[in-house]
Amino acid sequence: MAKVSTTVKAKRARTRIGRIRTAIAGIDYLCSGTLLERFTSCGKAGCRCAQDPAARHGPYYDWGHMQDGKLVHRRLTAEQADLLRPAIANYQKVKELLRAWEVETERLIDAEAPHDR
Ligand SMILES: [Zn+2]
């Protein structure tokens, strides 16, 4: 296999960083945390939810996320939950992109300032 020059390696890394940057720039809604969809029993005697698990109330949407080092829970409407779901997926995506950016940066550092120079 032909040895790829450090210039080419650096160029490739820069191209990949450019793609990562573009991907991040295209992201709008971004939230950390988790979204829980819960069903509950109200505890009233005679309510259908007491007998039938399928008749429990809900779904209720609960967003759990860290705020100032503390886990905070927030009740959301179904409409808010629909907006939050992709925002959480975007957060995971950005985390992956940042990891990839870090890998490419390490390649750049090695290509631009190799040990054996
Ligand atoms: Zn009930």
Given a cut of 50, the residues of the chain with pLDDT beneath it are: none
d(CA 62, CA 26): 27
Distance 45 CA to ligand 1 centre (A): 8
Distance 60 CA to ligand 1 centre (A): 13
Distance 115 CA to ligand 1 centre (A): 69
**Full 3-state SS string of the chain:** CCCCCHHHHHHHHHHHHHHHHHHHHCCCCCCCCEEEEEEECCCCCCCHHHHCHHHCEEEEEEEEEEECCEEEEEEECHHHHHHHHHHHHHHHHHHHHHHHHHHHHHHHHHHHCCCCC
Distance 14 CA to ligand 1 centre (A): 58
Distance 79 CA to ligand 1 centre (A): 23
Query: What pLDDT, on a 0 to 100 scale, did the predictor assign at position 6?
Result: 86
Closest C-alpha among 105, 114, 103 to residue 6: 114
Query: What pLDDT, on a 0 to 100 scale, did the predictor assign at position 2?
Result: 61
Q: Give this prediction's pTM.
A: 0.82
Query: What pLDDT, on a 0 to 100 scale, did the predictor assign at position 117?
Result: 63
d(CA 69, CA 48): 40
Query: Tokens 């992109």 appear where?
Result: 97
